[in-house]
Chain A
């Protein structure tokens, strides 16, 4: 047991180190992108005020350290990021960090709900299809999955808006809450949930397809194993075998997949938040692209990357707990 624990600790330490290295590369990459942009912060300021002369601009550059050699600037940038300083958005007159943090909860809510829905419905459909393999219901599920798999997030979003908001008028078109209404906490939760149904559905449809495919394939593989036959031979009921023995192992690839796709989900959130005008970081990035507010866009990119790195660490931890056999290789 202690040997296993030491092994686990060693592995987690190594993963932590790896995450730090990756974070550093991301930060350096973001710095390089910031310098790919034509013009710097002082140009933006000058453009906004319109009354700056060359001398004042030079003074400002000196003050913000923009006249220093690249490597020194990089050093300042990295130490800044480490202290939570992601730069300043002159368009919004606020620090990038506080702007992003204001918007992060909505995005996290959207992504977490979508993952939950996708894993739940996807696995359910996959297991169901695997139980009835090659029967009509399996074929129908597979066809639907194939179409979901080919539909881009923004098409699903637009389609759902057309059907449920415009034609049937059942659900709100956009936003996170109904504006201008006083609500109790419980009503507020209900209201947010109602506003989230369509965005979550449109973001998760594609992933439902992926998890359904994956769960079906891994379930088929698991159901052929000896220990499943043993479980049946012991006299256990079908549902007991499926849930207690097969599903637990069939879920492992799904968990891996969630980790791999969390980055993609944040990308999909940009489209979903734009279509449904949700106040999340994706919408923030979209708006800042058209305002040419580059420090803010890169701030969104950085914060999302850090969240993703963190989530992947947590998923690795869950993975080792779900399956003690998992090889903690180096």
Chain B
């Protein structure tokens, strides 16, 4: 499975880019021990204007490269944790709705509909502004707006698996319902959910960057969106302050999308023959 992902060009490039970003996140403290907030030079220095500052400085004279290294931490952690939370909620709701059907299904799916109807990003803005902007609350807001597709997908898969003979025979031998769901149904219905997870991490990173861009980021951490927000007022002259962190957002999302595609193809036997 891993080999198949690695052998496809999309999977290789995706994994390479992602490992690079992870490397940046891990080594941020080593390369920039003073942290992302330290003032290192004159403000608005262009990239390469002074050796040692290849990405220049922002409006307060902070090292943009350091901010991007530390920003990788925030983006990856927020993306990962929010996705795990969304997966837990979505898989729980989806498997309950799919397995029990009828009333449970109707109630849970209408709630899912309602969450999918509300514009996600707007909802996240409302949640963060009500709960106060902190990394935890941003993670909560992103999880709240991104679980519905997981629930739908899990439900559809569980509906399929529920009718299979091996699940029916588990019922007949008197296995308890939670045990059937956890050991029989879920392991056989989660592979499409894994593909969605890669895309969810990407979406979560975009949402976090969007929130910080609007000024709703955690004021105590430096994220890519924060930097873009800092650079926005001076976009007419020093546009690189916005563009450089933006490129890293694009690169990370691209890497995750490529990886998701590669996993999807590897899991899907239909494409294997090509």
Interface pair A158/B210, CB less than 8 Å apart: no
Query: Count of A-B contacts with CB under 8 A?
Result: 133
Query: Which B233-262 residues have C-beta < 8 A from chain A?
Result: 235-236, 239, 242-243, 246, 249-251, 253-254, 257-258
User: Which residue of A is nearest B240, CB measured?
Assistant: A162
- Chain B contact surface mostly: helix
Query: Which B38-67 residues have C-beta < 8 A from chain A?
Result: none
Interface pair A147/B117, CB less than 8 Å apart: no
Interface pair B239/A33, CB less than 8 Å apart: no
Q: Does any Cβ of B come within 8 Å of A150's Cβ?
A: yes
Residues of B in contact with A, size category? 35 or more
Q: Does any Cβ of B come within 8 Å of A41's Cβ?
A: no
Q: Smallest Cβ distance from A32 to chain B, in angstroms?
A: 11
Given contacts A286-B214, A289-B216, contact A146 B122 (CB under 8 A): no
Complex Cα distance A21/B125, Å? Answer: 25
Which stretch of A65-73, A230-238, A298-306 is in the interface?
Answer: A298-306
Interface pair B210/A153, CB less than 8 Å apart: yes
Which residues on A sit within 8 Å (CB–CB) of B235?
158, 161-162, 166
Complex Cα distance A218/B114, Å? Answer: 29
Contact of B117 among A154, A162, A285, A309 (CB under 8 A): A309
Q: Does any Cβ of A come within 8 Å of B130's Cβ?
A: yes
Q: Does any Cβ of B come within 8 Å of A322's Cβ?
A: no
Which residues on B sit within 8 Å (CB–CB) of A33?
126-127, 130
Given contacts A147-B250, A147-B254, contact A266 B214 (CB under 8 A): no
Q: Does any Cβ of A come within 8 Å of B12's Cβ?
A: no
User: Which residue of A is nearest B106, CB measured?
Assistant: A21
Which residues on A sit within 8 Å (CB–CB) of B122?
266-267, 270, 282, 285, 300-301, 304
Contact of B121 among A18, A150, A264 (CB under 8 A): A264
Q: Does any Cβ of B come within 8 Å of A214's Cβ?
A: no
Which residues on A sit within 8 Å (CB–CB) of B124?
267
User: Which residue of B is nearest A166, CB measured?
Assistant: B236
Q: Smallest Cβ distance from B192 to chain A, in angstroms?
A: 16
Given contacts A271-B121, A301-B123, contact A152 B249 (CB under 8 A): yes
Q: Does any Cβ of A come within 8 Å of B35's Cβ?
A: no
Contact flags A136-151 to B (C-beta < 8 A → 1, else 0)? 0000000000110111
A-B contacts, 29 of them at CB < 8 A, read A22-B113, A25-B114, A29-B118, A147-B254, A149-B257, A150-B202, A150-B250, A150-B253, A152-B246, A152-B250, A153-B210, A154-B213, A158-B232, A158-B242, A162-B235, A162-B242, A263-B117, A267-B119, A267-B123, A271-B121, A286-B125, A292-B129, A297-B125, A301-B119, A301-B122, A301-B123, A304-B118, A308-B118, A308-B119
Give the A-binding residues of B (Cβ under 8 A). Answer: 110-111, 113-114, 116-127, 129-131, 202, 206, 209-210, 213-216, 228, 232, 235-236, 239, 242-243, 246, 249-251, 253-254, 257-258
Give the B-binding residues of A (Cβ under 8 A). Answer: 18, 21-22, 25-26, 29, 33, 36-37, 146-147, 149-155, 158-159, 161-162, 166, 260, 263-268, 270-271, 274, 282, 285-286, 289-290, 292, 294, 297-298, 300-301, 304-305, 308-309, 312
